[in-house]
Structure formats: C-alpha cells, structure tokens
Amino acid sequence: MVGSKLSMPPGAPQLRRADADAIEEGARRLAAGEVLAFPTETVYGLGGDASCAQAVQAIYRIKGRPADHPLIVHVADVEAAAWWGDLGEDGQRLAAAFWPGPLTLIVRRRAEAPDHACGGEATVGLRCPAHPVALALLRAFARLGGRGVAAPSANRFGRVSPTRAEHVAADLAQHAQGELTLVLDGGPCEFGLESTIVDLSRGTPVLMRPGGLAAARIEAVLGRRLGRRDAQAPRASGTLAAHYAPHTPLELVETPALAARIATLAAAGLRVAAWCRQRPASSALAHWEAADDDPVRFGHKLYAGLRSLDALGLDRILVESLPAEADWDAARDRLARAAASFAPGG
C-alpha cells in the first residue's frame, strides 16, 4: 500500500512507546483531567476521564464532534461498568463471553453516574477493550480513583479512523491547540475496525453497528436474534449515514461496472484510483490497489488503505463492492458510510 510513511506536522503531540512508565504517566494525566490517545484492538482512541466535564469537552473540541453525539466509556472490567449502568442479564452474559473485546453495550445510565459523555441520552455505551496497553492504562487509572475513560476514535469527526499512532498525530495536531500532548504508541491495531455496538436499553437487544465481533456470535450467547436499529434507538457512535470518509470522493462500484465507471470519470478529466480484487482492463486508471479477498485481512487494512489512497491526491477513489456474506458486514458498513459522504455522479 502506497503512502504508509507519515511525517509528523509541526506541533504534533509526543508519540511515546507504550511501556510501563508511559502507561503510568498516561494514567496520571487522565487523573489530572488531561486528554491523550491510546491504542485499542479496534482503533486508536482519544481518551479523557469520563467523569470530568472539562476532559470530555476537550475531546469534543479536538475531534470537532457534535455535542449531542455520545462517546463510548471504556472500563477496566464488569465491576467498573456496573458503576455507570445496569448491564442486566443479557449484558452480564455478553460481558462474560466477550469482554475484554470489541463489543460495546448500550445500557441505561445510573442516575448518579455523570452524563458528560452521553450526548444528552439517558443511556451510556460501555466497553472493556482487549488491547494490553488499553487495559493496563484503564487499570492504572482505576488505581488512581478513575471510573472510566471516554474515548471515541482519535481522528477528526466523520473522517477515517486511525489504526496507527502516526495517524493520530497527523490528524489532530493542528486541531488540538495544545490539549493533546501524548500519544501512547502500541503499534498497529489488531482488528482495524471499530467495536460492534449492541443496545440493551430497551428490552430487546438491538444491533446498532456491526464491528469487530460478529453478530452471529452474540446471537449464539443470547439464544435469539438481534433486532435492527430503528428510529427510537438511542444515538450511538459511528451510526450516522455519512462517516469514516477520506478527503478524496469515494464511490462503491459493482465489479461489472468498474471499467465503464473508470472510463466515464477519465473522460471527464478526473484521475482515478481503484481498490479491487482484479486489476481493471483500463489504460485510463491512474492507480490500482489490490484488495484482499479475506474479510478479516481486508478489515484490518481498510482504514490504512483509505489513508494511503487519499494521500495520492487523485480525484476519485473507486472501491469494488464487497461480498454480501456476514463476515464482510463491518467493512461493508464502513465503506457505505464513507461513500455516503459524497454526492453521487460526477
């Protein structure tokens, strides 16, 4: 994949290898109300004390995130989650089966729990991440009295999520205004796609967003099918129609239509990159990137791949539509939202 080497912009936060000393320093900064970035198994998070209004406000400000868009609160264990909300029987079973892991549970927030990260909702999204750095940071923060870390993806709102520490610094340096000074570098994220979100706040478990944990595995533990998101569902991270977008306009194109679409765009004077499994038979193509035919590997590479294609400075990115199988649900969801950020045609 081209363009993977990123130079750090002026004023970028410090990238520090996430060893034991750096993690302890990060916990102290969280306890002091500061904001930092850290790796999870899904993507890098922009974290602050979820109980501290100033820290949460800084997260919204740095990301450029709407104030009514809830954040996910990351906790060290089920006991910490129970301070924020009642998991109920279904939540307890899912947490026992999949935490730590890429599963976020939306539950009714306890009346005494702070609402700073909840975007005006009576619910709260909770997750216990599986990444060793994230878990060590949360546990160190808990030893200092911390209850949980609000941590959306560490990028500007609506843009491509970060899966490496360098992505965070490149995205947020010019927007942080000194409020983000530390990025804990734990290497590339294992999954590369955000957590699966399940709403447990209304009785029937509902799939809000596909992600790093397959819905079929959740249904197997619950013993019943998940409902689908409706108009009465609480607001949740990453569920807007347009999201995860590169700066270069992106289109999803069915395989048989790729060559014709490339020709149409090239005839209009546009320089086109295609990300697909087989190279299109078109001399008008400016760049071809081979797409992996394995859903796990494709998902792991998705955001880094979009960043690399974006860095080419071309006029359009065409991505071959993904298979309809359930294993591709999360990647298909992210690409559909990325494409929705741009008007069709052209």
DSSP 159: B
Span 149-194, pLDDT tens digits: 999 999 999 999 999 999 998 899 878 778 998 999 999 999 999 9
Q: Is the pLDDT of residue 5 over 70?
A: no
Domain ranges across the chain = 14-228, 250-340
**Among 3.40.50.11030, 3.30.365.10, 3.40.50.2000, 3.40.50.300, what is the CATH number of 250-340?**
3.40.50.11030
Question: Which residue is associated with the tokens 């610094």?
Answer: 169
pLDDT for the residue numbered 232: 84
- Which residues contact residue 334 at a Cβ distance below 8 angstroms, ignoring those fewer than 6 apart? 193, 243, 244, 302
Span 10-21, pLDDT tens digits: 566 889 999 999
pLDDT for the residue numbered 27: 98
CA dihedral (156, 238, 149, 98) in degrees, to 10, reads: -140
Q: Is the pLDDT of residue 237 over 80?
A: yes
- Alpha-carbon distance of 245 to 189, in angstroms, equals 19
pLDDT for the residue numbered 345: 47
Span 75-108, pLDDT tens digits: 999 999 999 999 999 999 999 999 999 999 999 9
As a whole number, the mean pLDDT across the chain is 93
Span 304-328, pLDDT tens digits: 999 999 999 999 999 999 999 999 9
Strands 72-74 and 14-17: unpaired
pLDDT for the residue numbered 92: 98
Span 105-132, pLDDT tens digits: 999 999 999 999 999 999 999 999 999 9
Architecture of domain 14-228: Alpha-Beta Complex (3.90)
